[in-house]
């Protein structure tokens, strides 16, 4: 089940071709478990090119997703078509209720996923006051399937995961370097779970103890405590583990951790139903250039 934030594609594949659209309609990264109920929240971050607002969103449903319901939006008409090509359409009732530039929104469907792991692609037609942007290109349609440039109008991708693999996205993970003889250090990352979860455990062969801790000021003293009951990851929100905040504390180190090396971590999660999953990641030692890395020397 090794996966190092294997599905970062959604956030990275911005359209750059001249004359292309300015933003994507996407699903949150992290994926979903095969055979599970899934709330698909399509994120719209910008109107079509040179447009002032989004006036309609039509989602064409792929085989492998069985629609159960769609969430209405105030000021928009909702239309569900289940015959022929299944699709859901939201249309703004007036210019006043359209989605303007600079305002982000989610259009939400709920349904059941296929039991077969693999990517699902949702084609989305975005209507604006000056035309349309059809987010419908699949990897086989463009050069990105061959390792070249990205599609200009990619369909929204959902990674359907095998049972046991955590539907959680891990980004910007790093570990503070440790010298020989050092007993502890910290690991940091950004976590997001599309359907919500709790980080309930961490392990690594590089340390005898790995725990999720929180640092916070109590009076004039910075104190560190284990997080009881696991760290909550609200649905479709990013939770950052960082110095002077939530972090993974690695203690009883078995080895030095020089900058540039990689350390395997196993992250264990639990969803609202108590189902446990895990994610194996290899984390690079050394802070990114923009990351602050204060020491633990004054914690109690």
Question: Does domain 169-285 match CATH 2.60.40.1890?
Answer: yes
Output the CA–CA distances (angstroms, integers) from residue 172 to 69, 159, 192, 290, 294, in the order listed: 35, 20, 12, 11, 17
Cα(296)–Cα(182) distance, integer angstroms: 12
Cα(62)–Cα(46) distance, integer angstroms: 24
Task: Choose among 226, 204, 188, 221: nearest CA to 297.
Answer: 221
Q: Alpha carbon 117 to chain centroid distance?
A: 18
Cα(105)–Cα(132) distance, integer angstroms: 18
Task: Choose among 267, 263, 259: nearest CA to 287.
Answer: 259
Q: What is the pLDDT of residue 290?
A: 54
Coil, strand or helix at 23: coil
Per residue in 42-70, pLDDT (tens digit) is: 999 888 989 999 999 999 999 999 999 99
Q: What are 3's strand-pairing partners?
A: none
Q: Report the mean per-residue pLDDT for the chain.
A: 86
Q: Given CA atoms 75, 79, 80, 84 in this order, what sign does their dihedral have? A: negative
Cα(175)–Cα(123) distance, integer angstroms: 38
**Cβ-proximal residues to 48 (8 Å cutoff; 6+ apart), any chain:** 21, 22, 54, 126, 127, 128, 130, 131, 132, 133
**Residues of the chain predicted below pLDDT 70:** 1-23, 141-149, 217-218, 290-300
Q: What is the pLDDT of residue 34?
A: 97
Cα(28)–Cα(130) distance, integer angstroms: 27
DSSP assignment letter at 257:
B
Answer yes or no: are the C-beta atoms of 258 and 177 closer than 8 Å: yes
Q: What is the pLDDT of residue 220?
A: 73
Cα(224)–Cα(207) distance, integer angstroms: 18
Considering the four listed CATH numbers 2.60.40.2230, 1.20.1440.230, 2.102.10.10, 3.40.190.10, the one that applies to the domain covering 9-161 is 2.60.40.2230
Cα(131)–Cα(210) distance, integer angstroms: 53
Q: What is the pLDDT of residue 41?
A: 97
Q: What is the pLDDT of residue 175?
A: 98
Per residue in 83-122, pLDDT (tens digit) is: 778 999 999 999 999 999 889 999 999 999 999 999 999 9
Measured in degrees and rounded to the nearest 5, phi and psi for residue 5 equal 45, 55
Torsion of CA 86, 68, 120, 83, to 10 degrees: -10
DSSP assignment letter at 130:
T
Q: Are domains 9-161 and 169-285 of this chain identical in fold?
A: yes
Per residue in 256-275, pLDDT (tens digit) is: 999 999 999 999 999 999 99
Every domain of the chain and the residues it spans: 9-161, 169-285
């Amino acid at each position: 089940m090794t996966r190092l934030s294997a599905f970062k594609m959604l956030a990275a594949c911005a359209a750059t071709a001249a004359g292309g659209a300015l933003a994507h309609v996407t699903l949150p990264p992290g994926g979903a478990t095969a055979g599970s109920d899934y709330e698909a929240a399509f994120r719209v971050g910008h109107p079509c090119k040179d447009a002032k607002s989004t006036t309609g969103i039509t989602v064409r449903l792929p085989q492998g997703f069985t629609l159960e319901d769609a969430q209405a939006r105030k000021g928009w008409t909702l239309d569900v078509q289940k015959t022929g090509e299944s699709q859901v359409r939201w249309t703004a009732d007036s210019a006043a209720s359209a989605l303007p530039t600079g305002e982000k929104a989610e259009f939400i469907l709920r349904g059941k996923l296929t039991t077969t792991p693999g990517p699902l692609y949702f084609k989305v037609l975005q209507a604006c006051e000056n035309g349309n942007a059809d987010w419908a290109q699949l990897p086989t349609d463009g050069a990105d399937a061959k390792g070249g440039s990205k599609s200009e109008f990619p369909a929204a991708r959902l990674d359907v995961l095998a049972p046991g693999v955590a539907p959680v996205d891990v980004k910007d993970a790093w570990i503070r370097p440790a010298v020989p003889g050092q007993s502890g250090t910290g690991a940091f990352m950004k976590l997001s779970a599309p359907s919500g979860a709790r980080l309930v455990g961490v392990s690594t062969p590089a340390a005898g103890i790995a725990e999720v801790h929180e640092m916070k000021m109590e009076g004039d003293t910075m104190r560190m405590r284990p997080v009881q009951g696991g760290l909550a990851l609200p649905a479709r929100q990013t939770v950052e583990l960082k110095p002077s905040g939530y972090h993974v504390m690695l203690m009883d180190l078995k080895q030095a951790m020089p900058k540039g090396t990689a350390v395997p971590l196993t992250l264990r999660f639990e969803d609202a139903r108590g189902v446990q999953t895990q994610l194996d990641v290899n984390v690079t030692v050394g802070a990114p250039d923009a990351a602050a890395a204060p020491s633990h020397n004054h914690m109690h």
